[in-house]
């Protein structure tokens, strides 16, 4: 390749090199059937932020306060998705590493550009909100789920690794912006 790939104008050779190195490191795990099942499931659960809506709903059962938090989280995730998918992604218009993901994994073909990963952004955003609500002791749970969902997108090759990192940064930033509002829900 003699120049940046179409849609990669903001991503120089160092980013492309990072993406290639991470993809090569992940490749050996793509052949492991257990890793493939786990990461494909994590990718599916990240679709439309399903995992975060399920988690918020489960937290809300039997508690009026946590039920209100679940509704607020759903609204905040909707806003986060709007900002990322209709705002940030339109700025970059980066091509995905594959048109519809690696053929070894059945995943939904996204209609938006590759950067930043919406799954990663939503995952880190939701985890930030949930840790704000539940306290630092919940970080391993919510952070672990966020890492699985975010990482799954590079695993199934629907995103470059740098898209996942960028999405995580965007999600964290939006989560920190939402924190003052979220703290009032505790």
pTM summary value = 0.91
Asked whether the predicted pLDDT for residue 6 surpasses 50, the reply is no
In this prediction, residue 77 carries a pLDDT of 97
Q: How confident is the model at residue 101 (pLDDT cuts 50, 70, 90)?
A: confident
- How many Cα atoms within 13 Å fall on the side-chain side of residue 87? 9
SS3 content of the chain, % helix, strand, coil (to 5): 75, 0, 25
Express each pLDDT in 48-87 by its tens digit: 999 999 999 999 999 999 999 999 999 999 999 999 999 9
Asked whether the predicted pLDDT for residue 3 surpasses 60, the reply is no
All structural domains of the chain with their residue ranges? 13-183
Mean pLDDT confidence for 136-161? 97
Asked whether the predicted pLDDT for residue 98 surpasses 80, the reply is yes
8-25 burial code (b ≥16 CB/10 A, e <16): beebeeebbeebeebbee
Q: How confident is the model at residue 5 (pLDDT cuts 50, 70, 90)?
A: very low
CATH class of the domain whose range is 13-183: mainly alpha
């Amino acid at each position: 390749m003699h120049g940046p790939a179409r849609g990669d104008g903001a991503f120089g050779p160092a980013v492309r090199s990072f993406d290639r190195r991470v993809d090569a490191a992940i490749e050996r795990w793509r052949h492991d059937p257990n890793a493939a099942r786990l990461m494909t499931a994590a990718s599916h659960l990240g679709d439309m932020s399903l995992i975060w809506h399920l988690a918020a709903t489960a937290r809300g059962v039997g508690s009026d306060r946590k039920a209100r938090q679940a509704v607020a989280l759903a609204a905040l995730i909707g806003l986060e998705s709007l900002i990322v998918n209709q705002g940030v992604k339109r700025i970059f218009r980066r091509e995905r590493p594959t048109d519809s993901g690696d053929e070894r994994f059945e995943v939904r073909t996204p209609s938006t550009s590759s950067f930043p990963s919406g799954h990663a952004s939503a995952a880190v955003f939701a985890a930030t909100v949930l840790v704000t609500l539940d306290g630092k002791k919940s970080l391993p749970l919510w952070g672990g789920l966020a890492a699985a969902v975010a990482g799954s997108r590079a695993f199934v090759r629907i995103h470059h690794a740098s898209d996942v990192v960028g999405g995580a940064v965007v999600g964290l930033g939006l989560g920190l912006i939402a924190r003052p509002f979220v703290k009032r829900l505790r």
